[in-house]
Structure 1
Amino acid sequence: MTKEKEDFQKLCDSSIELFNAGDYEGVANLYKKETQFLAPNFSRITTREGVSNFWKNTFNAGYRFQKVETIEVRVGGELAYWLFNWVMTNPDKNGKTITQTGKNILVWENVGSEWLICLDSWNSPA
């Protein structure tokens, strides 16, 4: 694995750490100000502020990753992507734990010297 690819994978891994810490602002700051956020059963979100609100509600509801499995990472020029499967849990309204699986692709754009998410799309089940 190239140094560039290793560094990018570390960035991807750190995004999961922010997610599991419930840091919705930290996660939202990984997105471009104008982005494409395609969550199942939700309208398209196109702003960092909208992404922040989405993650705030998600984290407050108790969603956390239990497992993330990288399928493929590609880095080339101004774009990179991370394709992965995930297992997530959240409490239901009765306090029981629900487990979900899914697949996700994050497309990142190199803006200046910073990688930012320009497209986030997932669905479930994996």
Structure 2
Amino acid sequence: MKLSKSYLMKSICSILLLMCTMQFAIAQTFTGNEDDIAQILKNTETFSEYIKASNYKMIGASYTADAKIFPNNKEILEGTEAIVNYWKLPKGVSIKYHKVISHEIKVLGNEAYDYGIYEGTTLLSSGEEVSWKGKYVIVWKKENNTWKMYLDIWNSIK
């Protein structure tokens, strides 16, 4: 039986795609109550929407009142006002794309940790687009049956 080069290439590409997909699926580890994990994933997705919409009120509401953030190359910022001020963009600048990809979430009672990667694109007032990516760790706290970010640290990947 003789196979065409086209058939072999399609088969190899299909196998490679399947392997990459499986590797990504295997790389995710979620441990704990499924409803809690689902809410953390949803809150992460919603947070990205708030970032893209520059919805500073809801960005602030995504964090606990005593939250701390650890931005790349900056001091630790504490409390809602400082966190919201950090996320405020200069006039004419917007976030065109923002995505967080959790690699692991582990729920431990009313606290959880989550780590993974993030990526995005900023649209500058000049019209230039700047893409970026990095890694993060978030410690979540459950307050009034809602998961909120308590500690949020990230840094870029070049």
- TM band (smaller chain): 0.7 to 0.9
Q: Which secondary structure does the structure 2 equivalent of 1:63 belong to? A: strand
| Structure 1 unaligned blocks of 5 or more | none
Query: Could you say which residue in structure 1 is the equivalent of 2:147?
Result: 115
Larger Cα-atom Rg = 2
Name whichever structure is richer in strand by fraction.
1
**Conserved 8 A contact 2:96-2:123:** no
**Conserved 8 A contact 1:87-1:101:** yes
TM-score, structure 1 length as denominator? Answer: 0.84
**Conserved 8 A contact 1:19-1:64:** no
| Structure 2 unaligned blocks of 5 or more | 1-29
How many residues matched? 126
TM-score, structure 2 length as denominator? Answer: 0.69
Give percent identity, aligned residues only: 23
Query: Could you say which residue in structure 2 is the equivalent of 1:32?
Result: 64
Q: Which secondary structure does the structure 2 equivalent of 1:110 belong to? A: strand
Q: In the TM superposition, what are the counterparts of 1:1-126 in structure 2 within 5 Å?
A: 2-57=34-89, 61-92=93-124, 94-125=126-157
The separation in 2 between residues aligned to 1:116 and 1:60, in whole angstroms, is: 29
State the 1:94 CA deviation.
4.1
**Conserved 8 A contact 1:31-1:117:** yes
For residue 83 of structure 1, what is the amino acid of its counterpart?
A: Y
Question: CA RMSD of the aligned region, Å?
Answer: 2.3
State the 1:45 CA deviation.
0.6
Name whichever structure is richer in helix by fraction.
2
